[in-house]
Structure 1
Amino acid sequence: MIHTIRSVTSTASTNDDVAALARAGEAEGFWLRAETQTGGRGRHGRAWQSPPGNLFASTIIRQRIGDPPPATLAMVAALALHQVAAAYGDASRITLKWPNDLMLDGAKLSGILLEAVGDAIVIGFGVNLAHRPEGLDRATASFAAAGLGAPDPAAFLEDLAQAFTYWVGRWRGEGLSTIRREWLLRAHAIGTPLRTTGADGQSVEGLFEGLDENGALRLRLADGTIHILHAGDVFLI
């Protein structure tokens, strides 16, 4: 997969722009980066603060016959982002949290948003390089605040595009089992206490028990039973 990167000074949302391009037939491997966004958003429509100095970029994957389930691209994107962040920062301080959060010292460093557009999946990345948002319901981190310096967003994206191409190739060539295994190697430890909120709004607490064969979260409850979460929010306790 050959990648091309277009950069703009400002836009409302790189995901919205790339979704429109996907509908118009833009090829897989295209990336759009904005220095800032006026209407950036995360999962469930949450506002995503977008100050200059951070990374805001989106890309396209075209679904092919034989591909693993498109939702598992969340783990592919997380693996690519982990690879680049570990190279720029301190790998020992960076972990993955289900389904696709990158954590630095246990605080949220980035967000990844997947949206289906016809036969395409648009994948948006927001990474706190120079700044971190405050006043949220979870701890946040940035490279700069963690004393790791603030990587140049354009250079960071060039490395991310290459890493993403590599992991998409493994996802297609080796299947979900490989991606699941590699994701778990970079995740917080088995037994980590978690609180989850499912699509129905129900909150459940338990211990991280890995992922099932489809990439869903396994949570061991106090009574020893296993709770499976296919979609929702996860918080470290």
Structure 2
Amino acid sequence: MIDYVAQTGSTNADLVARLSGGEYLPEGYWLVADRQIAGKGRLGRSWSDGGGNFMGSSLIQRGPGDPPPASLALVAGLAVHEAIEGVFESGDSVACARPILKWPNDVLLDGGKLAGILLEMVGNAVVVGIGVNIVAAPSLEGRKVVSLADYGLSICRDSFAERLADCLDAEISRWRLGGLAPIMRRWQTAAHSEGTALTVHPPGEAPLNGSFGGLTADGNLLLRLADGAQRVIHAGDVFLKD
């Protein structure tokens, strides 16, 4: 079920408030906004407005036997990547590269951010907020941001919403039935290659330079440092180095 609204502050905040207030929302419910005037991304960054872009949130109801909820960051990233790949396959892009995943779930194209995801936990539910630049890229200081339209691709926002809802449903089913190992293999296939140079900004620490060493068994980032040591990254900003 997809509910469309003309304008809201934040689709994530709306679902969090409804769940916190005791309302039951079924898994697979979506709230999608034409405009979002107080949206936010990871680490509190704003991610707002963007008429014609996709701005929406859904939720996953955690159940007994489900894999760890933190792994849903990878699941959501795969779903968004799959939905965007479908646009590339059905259109005539002028991009020299295909979209790739960057840990944990940003989708990049030619080094620019094309989509981002924010997960928030409310009781047994995980709210998944997703922003995809379909027609225009917002301005983010110090970051390259791109849209599908920049590369000659177009898709109706509502059609993309339906495609994305189907992709997320499929990925959640795989997550529950197959566990983490196949999810992580598929995530790494869709991501930049092992050995890619990275700069990581862990919360409250100085930046770390190294290279992508893959994922841990529970989906955290492995950063290979210059001295050969490996650092497990549980949270932080990750940048691909030029």
Task: Name the TM-score, length of structure 2 as normaliser.
Answer: 0.93
CA deviation after TM superposition for structure 1 residue 15, in Å: 0.3
- Asked whether the 8 Å contact 2:35–2:48 carries over to 1, the reply is no
Measure, in 2, the Cα distance between the counterparts of 1:216 and 1:183: 12
Of 213, 216, 220, the residue aligned with 1:216 is 220
- Asked whether the 8 Å contact 2:67–2:179 carries over to 1, the reply is yes
Alignment correspondent of 1:115: 120
1:5 to 2:9 alignment: no
Alignment correspondent of 1:85: 84
- Asked whether the 8 Å contact 2:188–2:214 carries over to 1, the reply is yes
1:21 to 2:18 alignment: yes
Equivalences for 1:77-226 in 2 at 5 Å?
77-89=76-88, 92-148=97-153, 150-226=154-230
SS of residue matched to 2:82: helix
CA deviation after TM superposition for structure 1 residue 202, in Å: 2.5
1:72 to 2:71 alignment: yes
Amino acid at match of 1:165: D
- Asked whether the 8 Å contact 2:29–2:58 carries over to 1, the reply is yes
Gaps of 5+ in 1: none
- Asked whether the 8 Å contact 1:94–1:104 carries over to 2, the reply is yes
Q: 133-142 vs 171-180, which deviates more?
A: 133-142
Q: Where has structure 1 moved over 4 Å in runs of 4 or more?
A: none
CA deviation after TM superposition for structure 1 residue 101, in Å: 0.4
The RMSD of aligned alpha carbons is 1.3
Gaps of 5+ in 2: none
- Asked whether the 8 Å contact 2:53–2:131 carries over to 1, the reply is yes
CA deviation after TM superposition for structure 1 residue 49, in Å: 2.9
Q: Residue 98 and residue 135 in structure 1: after superposition, are their counterparts in 2 closer, same or farther (change >3 A)?
A: closer
Alignment correspondent of 2:32: 33
Amino acid at match of 1:166: A
> Any idea what the Cα deviations from partners look like across 1:58-79, whole Å, max 9, x if unmatched?
0011111111111111111111
Amino acid at match of 2:12: N
Alignment correspondent of 2:231: 227
Measure, in 1, the Cα distance between the counterparts of 2:199 and 2:192: 14
Alignment correspondent of 1:236: 240
Measure, in 2, the Cα distance between the counterparts of 1:12 and 1:63: 26
Measure, in 1, the Cα distance between the counterparts of 2:59 and 2:65: 18
Q: Percent identity?
A: 45
SS of residue matched to 2:75: helix
Measure, in 1, the Cα distance between the counterparts of 2:64 and 2:204: 32
Q: 136-145 vs 162-171, which deviates more?
A: 136-145
Task: Name the TM-score, length of structure 1 as normaliser.
Answer: 0.95
- Asked whether the 8 Å contact 1:97–1:187 carries over to 2, the reply is yes
Q: Residue 180 and residue 135 in structure 1: after superposition, are their counterparts in 2 closer, same or farther (change >3 A)?
A: closer
- Asked whether the 8 Å contact 1:22–1:60 carries over to 2, the reply is no
Measure, in 2, the Cα distance between the counterparts of 1:202 and 1:169: 39
